[in-house]
Amino acid sequence: MKAVCAALAILFAWGSPSFDSGLPALAQDREDEAAKKAQRIDRAVGWLGDDDAEVREMGRKELLQIGADAVPALEKKIAEKGAAELVRILRHLDRHPRMADTWIDEKEIKDIEADEQFRREAEKLPKDAAEKFAYVKYQEALAHFRRKNYQRSFDMANALMALESRSAHVEAFKRLRRQSENMITQTSLIEAKVLQPKVWYLDDEPVELAVRMKNLYKSTITMTWDKGTEKEAGGGLVVLEVEIAMAEINGNSSSDQRHQELRFESEVPIAPGAQWERKVLVDTSTAITDSKQIRILKVGGWAQPMKIAADAIGITRRIQFEPATVKILPKRYARFLENPWESFEKAMGEGSMDQIYICIHLLDEKDHDRAAAMLIQKLAAAKTPEGKTYAHNLLRALTGQALGTDARRWEVWLQNRDAEKDKKKK
């Protein structure tokens, strides 16, 4: 509390413009510039009070971008409501905004299809009847999402947020609603994607991707952004969000995040079925570089046009870009790209554990099971605890499973996978 009071004291010590003293005569362009900035500030301050975390994050980013010019409006808001969130923004105007968690891969959505399964899962929870009901309906909404019935999953998540606002799962409801809305936009209005020409790049090789928006609507869509001023950049803007991850053979992992901006024209019309596309060179620099490890980049992004117009109707909608995933391979392992399976077999015979680990990441999915069989044999033949641990870590990197150092458990797991494949073929 003392810290907040101190922040408020500093802010009010700065003072705000006196509206009684009158404004000096300004040229018309200066007045227009000030009016536009005032509108931006008012809009961003309004977003901070929205129920949607994504919209609140947009408001924070907008105010951070505007900088000190936003202080008077924030001071006024503080005087009216004493909003602690606004104090936090004021204290951090010179800091970098955090990256928003905005896209959910479909594989992250649990695939539960039958009502009976929902009820069985709910019965395991030591919660009251209302909480169990919320859990059951949430799982049902997830199933609709998996079946690509995005409008239904959005409606259910929205209803759960309204009816069960105190549920332990309320953040999950919000997350599902946000992603359902993203997918409604992606499948009915604008399909937005980050595209890559290939998956693998070598160290120091430029990573050039494409940002594409495709019109799925029946008529022309026109997106407009603020044109900006001489002092402040405007025009179209896509904020690229880059997540960089690196995993080691022992299971340890590290990650870094950054963002970069792609600027373009302030008005983008797209005819029905047509698409708009721009190339972008991704900044792959990071604090977690390691000359021996693979780096995995997930590149997504978002855009917030001032207006999206179609059929003489204007709407405001955040456009979320489906991310692309690219992988950066150390140059010393470039030869493994020529024939990943042969490289894996050779590494298994005479290579190091690090080489085997690198080759595992290069394998096609169709080769995973036979690679797992070879690694299980290696685990069974290992004589020392260290050798067994290495073999287990390699199996975990290949399969995503952690079944320990007992080779028999891995053999049963692989047999069950083979049986499942046979069932699917039938």
Domains and CATH numbers, the chain: 2-15+29-91 (no CATH), 106-188 (no CATH), 190-329 (2.60.40.10), 333-425 (no CATH)
- Prediction pTM value: 0.64
Length of the chain equals 426
Helix, strand, coil fractions of the chain, as percent rounded to 5: 50, 20, 30
Tokens of 113: 């299809």
**Hey, which residues does 244 pair with through a beta bridge?**
256, 297
Q: Which of 340, 347, 265 is nearest to 303 (CA)?
A: 265
| Residue 84: per-residue pLDDT | 47
- Cβ contacts of 388-396, under 8 Å, gap ≥ 24: 390/249, 390/353, 393/249, 393/250, 393/251, 393/357, 394/249, 394/353, 394/356, 394/357, 394/360, 396/251
| Residue 115: per-residue pLDDT | 46
Tokens of 409: 């458990």
Q: Which of 262, 329, 266 is nearest to 299 (CA)?
A: 262
Return the SS3 of 405: coil
Residue 56, CA distances (Å) to 43, 60, 85 in order: 11, 6, 10
What does the buried/exposed string (b/e) look like for 212-238 if buried means 16 or more CB atoms within 10 Å of the residue's CB? bbbbbbeeebebbbbeeeeeeeeebbb
| Residue 123: per-residue pLDDT | 55
**Which helix or strand (DSSP H or E) is residue 93 part of?**
none
Task: Determine contact, residues 407/388, Cβ cutoff 8 Å.
Answer: no
**Which helix or strand (DSSP H or E) is residue 183 part of?**
helix 170-188
For residues 232 and 39, give the distance between their C-alpha atoms in angstroms, rounded to a whole number. Answer: 14
In terms of C-beta density within 10 A (0-12 exposed, 13-18 middle, 19 or more buried), how is residue 170 classed? middle
For residues 369 and 340, give the distance between their C-alpha atoms in angstroms, rounded to a whole number. Answer: 15
Where do the H-state alpha helices sit in 242-316?
none
Task: Determine contact, residues 295/284, Cβ cutoff 8 Å.
Answer: yes
Q: Which of 283, 277, 228 is nearest to 261 (CA)?
A: 283
Asked whether the CA dihedral 382, 387, 392, 397 is positive or negative, the reply is: negative
Q: Which of 306, 277, 269, 250 is nearest to 196 (CA)?
A: 277
Task: Tell me how far the alpha carbon of residue 179 is from its chain's centroid.
Answer: 10
| Residue 124: per-residue pLDDT | 59
| DSSP for residue 99 | P
For residues 53 and 178, give the distance between their C-alpha atoms in angstroms, rounded to a whole number. Answer: 9
Task: Determine contact, residues 74/100, Cβ cutoff 8 Å.
Answer: no
Mean pLDDT in runs of 10 for the chain (426 residues)? 42 38 47 76 79 75 77 66 49 39 50 48 58 79 87 86 76 85 84 94 92 93 84 84 87 84 93 95 79 88 90 80 93 93 94 92 93 94 92 92 91 86 68
